[in-house]
Structure 1
């Protein structure tokens, strides 16, 4: 996972597997970001373009990150979610929780984010 800071946002670039072994990196990055407190503004975007796999540990880590950021008055936005992961969000109802965007620029530009069916990185409903 890479973390890219912008003037008014941060992008977590997720790669490979988001599973029990790798969620610690996401958790630690999320803790650092939420600890920035009131001085931090703008969204946190999870760029999922290179995400190959996500298990229940990965989903739990994303939900916890979403909750922690919401408590700090910030938003978690997901970008470029692969079809298999988008389908998992749809099956679990998390497509109604997460704001999912076609790509990082759309996630950075978006307001509260679209709700409704999760879409694959190709923009197709799953």
Structure 2
């Protein structure tokens, strides 16, 4: 399965939308998108997981590393709308207490 990643930015806020499976083979795509936003000095990144059907430890590590770097820059990372399978991984690993997780998919203002 593929992983499609798209980003949208507005001011210092950015939304990363991932769809598909986030695993050892596809995680570099998400990592590259997040690294680009970090370079662009985004101060708040929301990762929309509503289209992610599977996420393994590699995917979680990419999200953790991005959150750590963003916090070091004074920013924040939020996970939005994880599907039940991804939510279960967050709960089993205890990462649901590390990440800010919201139920609703993110919306950037149209202007």
User: Scaled by the length of structure 1, what TM-score is found?
Assistant: 0.76
Any stretches of 5+ residues in structure 1 without a counterpart? 109-126
**1: CA distance between counterparts of 2:67 and 2:11?**
21
Whether 1:45 and 2:46 are equivalent positions in the alignment is yes
Structure 1 position 33, deviation (Å): 1.3
User: Is contact 1:4-1:12 (8 Å) kept?
Assistant: yes
Is the contact between residue 16 and residue 48 of structure 2 (CA under 8 Å) also seen in structure 1? Answer: yes
Q: Is the CA contact 2:48–2:106 (under 8 Å) kept in the aligned structure 1?
A: no
Q: Is the Cα contact below 8 Å between 1:45 and 1:104 reproduced in 2?
A: no
- 1:105 Cα shift? 4.0
1:68 Cα deviation (Å)? 1.1
Name the structure with the higher strand share.
Answer: 2
For the aligned residues, what is the CA RMSD?
A: 1.6
Find runs of 4+ consecutive structure 1 residues off by over 4 angstroms: none
The total of aligned residue pairs comes to 104
Distance 2:66 2:10 in 1: 19
